[in-house]
Amino acid sequence: MSLKDLFLQHTAQTSDHPVGIEVAKAEGVYLYDTNGKRYIDLIAGIAVSNVGHRHPEVVAAIKNQVDHYMHVMAYGEYVQQPTILLAKALADALPQHLNTSYFVNSGTEANEGALKLAKRHTGRTQLIACKNSYHGSTHGSLSVTGNETKKHAFRPLLPDIRFIEFNREEDIQHITEKTAAVIIEPVQGDAGVRIPSLSYMQQLRAQCTATGTLLIFDEVQTGFGRTGSLFAFEQFGITPDVLTLAKGMGAGLPIGAFIASHEIMTSLKHAPMLGHITTFGGNPVCCAAALANLKILQGGLLKDVHTKGALFKTLLQHPEIREVRGIGLMLAVEFDSFETVHKIFHECLKNGVVAFWFLSCNNSFRIAPPLTISEDEIREACDIILQSIDNVC
């Protein structure tokens, strides 16, 4: 049986149409399959490999940590240097009140923790989220996800959740003294890269402050340089009460975090004690990778992200392309229909460029390459995309 047949037979499938590249190697912005074919990776494991695949400093940090110790204890019990250094580095990189990190293993877990924290800290139950949002696939995060198609088969989900329209100022008034938290992506990712106005974001912050509601920014997709700043909220001149991270955090190893002030975070340690626990959260190998990743991002990599995003927008001009939306290197290329996107996606794949779909925007494909992508690589990728459009449209 071929490896692909084994994949189809023995690993649980998430759809009838997996992309199915048989990966042999990944390096920088390139993927190589087992036939030696090279792909320009415009998706980076879905906004994960922001510093490129197998960045040498990340690989060295992982190897060094593996030589000392790997998992030794469940989260929160032992003093493990990589975990602590990462927490300190994040606190130094963030506004002063975001000084305490709770490490988990994925984006959905980061949001689960943040929602529990908000309920526990405020003593309230209502959660407000946005239509078309995506916050993860576990029950709590799915409950605040604003995509009914993905949810209805799993009801009942969490009660006391209200959905407001993303980026509609009138809806902000629904946030009241009853609301424990508002969870929002500062740039909606899976809705097809939707950027809110500055004024909306500032009013949202003001209403949360006025009502004692915790503002949770889900930066699982936008974090770690994707939008051109280390975190997207920096571009809106406001800060959240709780920040959730994952994806690009570990440069290819699984790690996430929810981050808040020491005072807020303290509510998870009593009544009940162990209010949130995880075996693998804060894994030292993942934390060592994440620390190396953060240092690379802080070492000047972000300065060209906006320019590179603008180059994609300039080059991707074609009568079939309706719009290229985005911020930094988080982009959506819009066509007239899902059918057109489907044809182009597969033609690009055939011609050596990998892009991907969105969960809640089927007439667009996403571009989220490693931030290390060079101008020449962007030009080559865009040439292939334009040629692919000509071939199939």
Residues near ligand PLP, by CB under 6 A: 106-108, 111, 134-136, 185, 189-190, 218, 220-221, 246
How buried is residue 258: exposed, middle or buried, by Cβ count under 10 Å (0-12/13-18/19+)? buried
In sign, the C-alpha dihedral spanning 124, 125, 129, 135 is: positive
Neighbours of 79 (CB within 10 A): 7
- The DSSP call for residue 84 is H
What does the alpha-carbon distance between residue 222 and residue 309 come to, in Å, rounded to a whole number? 14
- Considering the complex, what minimum distance in angstroms separates the CB of residue 300 from ligand PLP? 26
CB nearer ligand PLP, residue 110 or residue 389: 110
Cis peptide before 272 (omega within 30 of 0): yes
- Considering the complex, what minimum distance in angstroms separates the CB of residue 107 from ligand PLP? 2
**Chain position whose Cβ is nearest to ligand PLP:** 107
- Considering the complex, what minimum distance in angstroms separates the CB of residue 337 from ligand PLP? 23
Q: How is the chain split among helix, strand and coil, in percent rounded to 5?
A: 40, 20, 40
Using an 8 Å Cβ cutoff, are 147 and 176 in contact?
no
CB nearer ligand PLP, residue 53 or residue 340: 53
What does the alpha-carbon distance between residue 198 and residue 45 come to, in Å, rounded to a whole number? 29
CB nearer ligand PLP, residue 80 or residue 106: 106
- Considering the complex, what minimum distance in angstroms separates the CB of residue 37 from ligand PLP? 27
CB nearer ligand PLP, residue 190 or residue 347: 190
- The DSSP call for residue 173 is G
CB nearer ligand PLP, residue 347 or residue 369: 369
> DSSP string spanning 311-359?
HHHHH---TT--EEEEETTEEEEE-S-HHHHHHHHHHHHHTTEE-B--S
- Considering the complex, what minimum distance in angstroms separates the CB of residue 249 from ligand PLP? 10
- Considering the complex, what minimum distance in angstroms separates the CB of residue 57 from ligand PLP? 23
CB nearer ligand PLP, residue 321 or residue 354: 354
- Considering the complex, what minimum distance in angstroms separates the CB of residue 301 from ligand PLP? 21
What does the alpha-carbon distance between residue 228 and residue 328 come to, in Å, rounded to a whole number? 5
CB nearer ligand PLP, residue 180 or residue 183: 183
- 297 is written with which tokens? 């991002």
- Considering the complex, what minimum distance in angstroms separates the CB of residue 182 from ligand PLP? 14
- The DSSP call for residue 238 is -
Using an 8 Å Cβ cutoff, are 209 and 97 in contact?
no
CB nearer ligand PLP, residue 117 or residue 220: 220
